Structure 1
C-alpha cells in the first residue's frame, strides 16, 4: 500500500480528479480541523509511490475538482468563510469568493453548468456561485443549523441536496427555494456527508458522525410549465455567452 505522510496534518477531505485518474486533491488540517493551520495538497499516485504535485498553506475544509474537461480547477471551502478556486499548477488562488458568515464545510461544482458551484456553510445557508462573474447568484437559508455537506444531482441541474447537524437532509429545487421539495429525517446525529446517487436522481446516501449510513429513495416532481411565479434559479447563473 502506498502512503503519503504530511507531518502534523490530518486528512479532512479528499477528491480524485475526474480527468487525471492518478491525481487527488486533499484538504489537511492540524488537530482534525478543530484548530491550527491547514494545507491543500495535490498528489499523484505513481509507480514508485505517492508524489507531491502542489502544497498550499490555507485553512481549508472541503475540496472538489471541476467537471469541465480542460479547466483542471479545484474549489475549496475555508475556515475564514471564503471559497477559493485554484489551478493546481499555481501556488496562489485564482479567485476568492466571499459571502458566507460561517465556516464553509462543503463545496461542489455543478456537473451541468460551467463555472458554477455550490457551497454549504456553518451559517446555515446553501449558496450558488457564478465563477465568471465572481458573485453569489443564489443564497438559500436551507437549515436552522450548520450545514456540513451538499451535493448536486447528476441528472437534473436544478436539484441540490444538503445535510445538516439538525439530523435532516433537504432536497432543493433551485427554481423555487421557498421550501425544500423533500425533507428527510431518520438520523439521530449530525449528517456529515450526503451524496446523490450517480445512476439515478431518486436515490440519496447519507453518513453521520457515528458512521451510520442510510440510503434514501426520493421521488421528485418537476414543473413542465413556466408560470413566472418561481424565484430565480439556474437560468440566472448560466455562463454568459
Structure 2
C-alpha cells in the first residue's frame, strides 16, 4: 500500500486506478462489523426478508420484515436510527413483506410487496400509500429497471404468469406466459430496458423481450454447455400441464443477478448450485463455473445474490447468503472462495437478504431470520465510543 501511495503522489497511478486498487484490497480483509448498531426500541419480530440502500445518498436503509413491518433507517457511523416505520396497524401490509426497493431515481418513493397479494407504492415524506397493485396471489419479488427508459415493474408471484406493471398508468400492461410453477425471481437487464430474466419454482430460467409477441427469447438449459449443441425446446404449449424438460436448476430458482454487460447471468437454486450463463451464443450456454461445496440453499423464498460494482474493483465479487448462517464471497472470474463470513461460531441464523452500502466501502448489510441486521466489511481499527442508547 505504501508503494501505491508513493506512485499516486508521483503521478504514476491515476486517481481512478488508485481508488480501484484500494477498494480491491478491502475484499481480502473482510469481517463482521460492530458498527453501526441498530436500536432495539422497535425491533423486527421474525425474519428480515428484504433490504435496500438508497442509490443517491447511500445513507438510508429500507427493510421489510416477516411481521409486515417496513422501516427506514438513517445509517451513521455509530448507529442507525429509525426515521420511518410502517406495519399493519398504521396502514402497512397485512402479512409478511417479501421485497422492498427504493425508486432508483428519486428517494421520494419506494415500493414493497407482500404475501397479502399487494405491491404497494409509498410516499417517503409522508409514509402514506400512493398506490397499490393487487396481483391476486402471494407476491414473492419484484424488480425495477435502472436504465430509466420506462416505469415498468416486473413482479413474480405464485401465479405462473410474470406480471408487468406500469407506474404511469397504474395498471398491469403485460403478462409473460410460459413458466410452469410460481415465479420465484425476476431481474431486469442492467442495460437493455426491454430484457428481463425470470426464474420459477420448477427450476426454469427464461429470458424475455417484452416488446415481442412471442416474448421468450431463450430458456436456459443446464445440459447445454457448448454453443454447437442443439437448442432444447418445449413441445407443450399448455402452461402448467406438462413439466418442462428444459431446466436451469433441478429445483426452484430463487436468485438471479446480471453481469453489468448484460451478456451473462448468474442463477442460484434449491439444488444448492450457482451457475453462470453466457447469453451471447444463440440459445445461451452453461459455463460450468464451479463455486465449491459450501453453498447452502434449501429454502424456496427469494434470495438476494449480489455482484460488487464493476466500477469499484479490477475483479468482481459475488456475495451469497448461505443458509447455514455464513455470507460467502466468491471471485466471479473463477469461482474462488475469498471469504466465509460469520458473526461468531455460535451464530447460525440464516441470512435472507443482502444490500450494498456503496461509495467504494466494500460494506454490505444482511438481514437474518431472527430479525437482526448484520454488517460485513473491511476490518475497522478505529476506536468508536458508544452512546448510552439501547442496542442489540
Same fold (TM over 0.5): yes
Q: Name which of 290, 294, 299 aligns with 1:183.
A: 290
* 8 Å contact from structure 2 (residues 259, 265) kept in 1: yes
More strand by share: 1
Structure 1: runs of 5 or more not aligned: 31-37, 221-241
CA contact (8 A) 1:203 1:217 kept: yes
Distance 1:21 1:132 in 2: 29
Q: 1:56 to 1:209 in 2, by over 3 A?
A: farther
Note the residue ranges of structure 2 that are not aligned, 5 or more in a row: 1-82, 221-246, 335-392
Change (3 A) 1:209 1:22: farther
Deviation at 1:3, TM superposition (A): 1.3
Runs of 4+ displaced beyond 4 Å: none
Does 2:161 match 1:161?
Answer: no
From 293, 308, 322, the equivalent of 1:208 is 322
SS in 2 for 1:69: coil
What RMSD over aligned residues (CA atoms) do the two structures have, in Å?
1.9
Match of 2:192 among 84, 104, 113: 113
CA–CA distance in 2 between the matches of 1:198 and 1:218? Answer: 12
- Counterpart pick for 2:178 among 99, 105, 110: 99
User: Which position in structure 1 is the counterpart of 2:84?
Assistant: 2
Superposition deviation, residue 70 in structure 1: 4.5
Deviations 1:61-96 (A, max 9, x none): 111112232512211112111111111243420101
What does residue 253 of structure 2 align with? 147
Normalising by structure 1, what TM-score?
A: 0.80
Q: How many residues align?
A: 210
TM-score between the two structures when normalised by the length of structure 2: 0.50
- On the 8 A contact 1:75/1:107 being kept in 2, the answer is yes
Q: CA deviation at 1:113?
A: 1.4
| CA distance in structure 2 between the partners assigned to 1:42 and 1:181 by the alignment | 40
The question of whether the paired residues in 1 share the 8 Å contact of 2:149 and 2:193 is answered with: no
What CA distance in whole angstroms lies between the structure 2 residues aligned with 1:82 and 1:212? 33
SS class of match (1:183) = coil
Distance change (3 Å), C-alpha of 1:71 and 1:121 = same
Contact kept? 2:151, 2:168, Cα under 8 Å: no
TM-superposed deviation, 1:209: 4.1
Deviation at 1:106, TM superposition (A): 1.0
- Report which structure shows greater RCO (CA 8 Å, sep ≥6): 2
8 Å contact from structure 1 (residues 171, 183) kept in 2: no
Contact 2:296/2:324 (CA < 8 Å) preserved in 1?
no
* Post-superposition CA distance 1:5-33 (Å, at most 9, x none): 22522110112221122322211114xxx
- Aligned partner of residue 309 in structure 2, secondary structure: coil
Q: Is the contact made by 2:147 and 2:192 (CA closer than 8 Å) also made in structure 1?
A: no
- Whether the 8 Å CA contact 1:54–1:89 is kept in 2: the answer is no
Using the TM superposition, give the Cα deviation of residue 210 of structure 1 relative to its aligned residue in structure 2, in angstroms.
4.6
